[in-house]
Amino acid sequence: MEKIIVKGGNELKGDVKISSAKNAVLPIIAASILGNELITINNAPLLEDVSVICDVLNELGSNVSINKNDLSITIDSKEVKPVDANDELIRKMRASFLIMGPMLSRHGCFKLSLPGGCNIGSRPIDLHLKGFKALGADIEIGHGYVEAKAKRLIGDRIYLDFPSVGATENILMASVLAKGTTIIENAAEEPEIADLANFLNSMGAKIDGAGSGKITVDGVDELKGTNYTPIYDRIEAGTFMIAAAISRSKIKIRGANEEHLRPIIEKLKECGIIVEYLEDENSIIVDGRCNVKAVDIKTLPYPGFPTDMQSQMMALLTLATGNSMITETVFENRFMHVSELCRMGAKIKVDGRTAFIEGVNKLTGCDVKATDLRAGATLILAGLVADKYTEIRDIYHIDRGYVCIEEKLRALGADIERV
């Protein structure tokens, strides 16, 4: 079993290049099912989750090839068929459910294993299904599967009770080839949704308003091929911003969009960290050579503070001067990292959806376990400043979402290795 070992105390220096966003690339690959012509995705992050969705498409009859040299993925979905998808593969990753919208739209029927819960919460799919039903699909659930059927999807007005990222993406993909106009209200506004819409528009879709709470889709009859470069990963960039802040270092993060990072930038500034955006370089300089002040945070759908940065921010606040409070409103069980941080000397108490963090002077390295993707990155961040060695187990979680995290940190001067 692989683990990551970090020896704390090194100052970080230099610059780091951010990869494309995993959460943009996964729906983009799923959306490729909608086209009959060749699609090329440039600068793809070659991560475990990305290879899972590529394997899923290959199982369905698409021809997907990953070119590790130029980081491109080419997808030809001419031959895609509504065959039973391999359950084991589908259940590896919840985001596999994103193939439902495009498969239903393209083939008029599709059956898929129901996604289960996961470490951070039960994560239902009711909003995805509500959208498909509004577009005219019949939905049947039984024996662990969901089956959707519709001769041709027909546009309608869909109001989401909560701005779910996955539901917005799935409904958006289903509606692109539907007859007439679809309006998604209370849609998720995350930058990855706008990126998916830009990708689909580059294939000939007619989507307006993606990135806002109201998305309008005028259905088209077919989509063509495209060559597309997805947005930078704002969560990876945010994680490196905290790496600088927690290790009291100054680094440059190349491949950053100021607007997408706004909620993180503003919170770090409130903590006293100096953040400078270099517009002509798409880069951010983070200078953490200061005392970190305690702050309160509430996670919210974009443009609120991202739940995917909650645990990393908590690692930083364990060492802040004063008491901080973090309220998690997006997922019901996203404090699994708290007990691991406490093993490292943090003082955190959890009451329901709120964590109370009392700043301490130092963290101490020990054996810890990555309980999910972002929690794993959090333990690396804590390890960067902890006394002596932090050994992180179950690092497969980290590999799902961070491209070469230890290489990137080592290049910045961290003492980190995978064994």
Q: Which of 118, 271, 342, 404 is catalytic?
A: 118
Only segment of 52-60, 81-89, 118-126, 269-277 that touches ligand UD1 (CB under 6 A): 118-126
Using CB under 6 A, pick the residue from 67, 117, 152, 162 that binds ligand UD1: 162
Q: How far apart are CA 283 and CA 13, in angstroms?
A: 15
Q: How far apart are CA 414 and CA 279, in angstroms?
A: 27
**127 touches ligand UD1 (CB under 6 A):** yes
277 phi and psi, to 5 degrees? -100, 130
Using CB under 6 A, pick the residue from 62, 113, 164, 312 that binds ligand UD1: 164
Tell me the one-letter amino acid at 288: G
Contact criterion met (CB below 8 Å) for 256 and 275: no
Q: In 10 A of CB 30, how many CB atoms?
A: 25
Bond prior to 303 in cis (omega within 30° of 0) = yes
- Smallest gap from Cβ 98 to ligand UD1, in A, equals 7
- Integer-rounded Cα Rg, in Å, for the chain is 21
**372 touches ligand UD1 (CB under 6 A):** no
**23 touches ligand UD1 (CB under 6 A):** yes
Using CB under 6 A, pick the residue from 126, 138, 185, 259 that binds ligand UD1: 126
Contact criterion met (CB below 8 Å) for 190 and 21: no
**149 touches ligand UD1 (CB under 6 A):** no
Q: Under 8 Å CB-to-CB from 315, ≥6 apart: which residues?
A: 242, 246, 337, 341, 346, 378, 379, 381, 382
Contact criterion met (CB below 8 Å) for 377 and 405: yes
Residues 61-100 interacting with ligand UD1 (rule: CB under 6 A) = 94-95
In the complex with ligand UD1, which residue's Cβ is closer, 165 or 319? 165
Report H helices in 135-220. 165-175, 191-202
Tell me the helix, strand and coil percentages in the chain, rounded to 5: 35, 25, 40
Exposure b/e, 267-296, CB count within 10 A at least 16 = b? bbeebebebebeeeeebbbbebeeebebbe
In the complex with ligand UD1, which residue's Cβ is closer, 75 or 319? 75
Only segment of 7-15, 36-44, 71-79, 116-124 that touches ligand UD1 (CB under 6 A): 116-124
- Smallest gap from Cβ 111 to ligand UD1, in A, equals 18
419 in a known ligand binding site:
no
**328 touches ligand UD1 (CB under 6 A):** no
The reply to whether 118 belongs to the active site is yes
**167 touches ligand UD1 (CB under 6 A):** yes
- Of all residues in this chain, which one has the CB nearest to ligand UD1 in the complex? 166
- Smallest gap from Cβ 15 to ligand UD1, in A, equals 26
Q: Which residues in this chain contact ligand UD1 in the complex, by CB under 6 A? A: 23, 26, 94-95, 121, 123-128, 162, 164-167, 188, 192, 307-308, 330-331
> Known catalytic residues?
118
Q: Which residues are annotated as a binding site for UDP-N-acetyl-alpha-D-glucosamine?
A: 94, 123-127, 308, 330
Q: Which residues are annotated as a binding site?
A: 22-23, 94, 123-127, 308, 330
